Amino acid sequence: MDHIYAPWRYNYVSEEKIKGCVFCHISTNKEDSKMQVLFSDSLCYIVMNKFPYSPGHIMVIPHYHTDKVEDLSDEIWMQMSLRVKQGIKLLKEQMNAQGVNIGMNLGDAAGAGIAQHVHYHLLPRWRGDTNFITTIANTRAYPADFTEIFLKLKNEAYKYFI
C-alpha cells in the first residue's frame, strides 16, 4: 500500500465534530477564522471546502437551512447564482484556473456529503490536474498549502463579491 502525506486531513479525524448542521454552524460563526469564510451577505456565504477535491475548492451556501432547492426563495436562488458567477471569476483570476466544475449533489442518493443543506461546489480545474496516480493508484495528491490558498482568496474576495 502506498501512502501520501496529507496533513490537512488530520483535522478531519482529530477535531471535535460539530453537532447539527455544519453549514448552519458556519453561517452563525462566520467571523471565526477557523470557518474560512471568504465572503458573506444577508442571503448566502462563500466558504473554502475544508476537505477539498482540488486546490481552491469553494462552496456557495445559503444561510437558509433546507435540503430542497425548490424550497429556496427566488431571491436566495438568484443571489446564489450571482455568487457562483463571481466565484468562478475569482478562481480563474486568482488561482489561474483553466476551467471550473460547478454543481450540486442533492440528497444522499446523488452523492451529497452534507445532504441536509443545499450548497454549490466550485472546483477550479487545470489541464492535466488529474493523471495516472488518480486513475491507477486511486490516490490524489494535493499540491498546495490549504491555508496559503485561503489567505490569497480571502484577501482578494472583496473585489469579486460586491
Fold of 21-160: HIT family, subunit A (3.30.428)
- pTM exceeds 0.85: no
> Of all residues in the chain, what percent carry a pLDDT higher than 90?
59
Mean pLDDT across 43-59: 91
pLDDT digits (tens, 9 = 90+) for 61-116: 999 999 999 999 999 999 999 999 999 999 999 999 999 999 999 999 998 889 99
pLDDT at 51: 80
pLDDT-based confidence at residue 17 (cuts at 50, 70, 90) = confident
Nearest to 122 by CA among 64, 83, 74, 65: 83
Judge whether residue 140 has pLDDT over 60: no
Judge whether residue 122 has pLDDT over 80: yes
Q: 100 near 125, Cβ under 8 Å?
A: yes
Mean of all residue pLDDT scores within the chain: 86
CA–CA gap between residue 72 and residue 148 (Å, rounded): 34
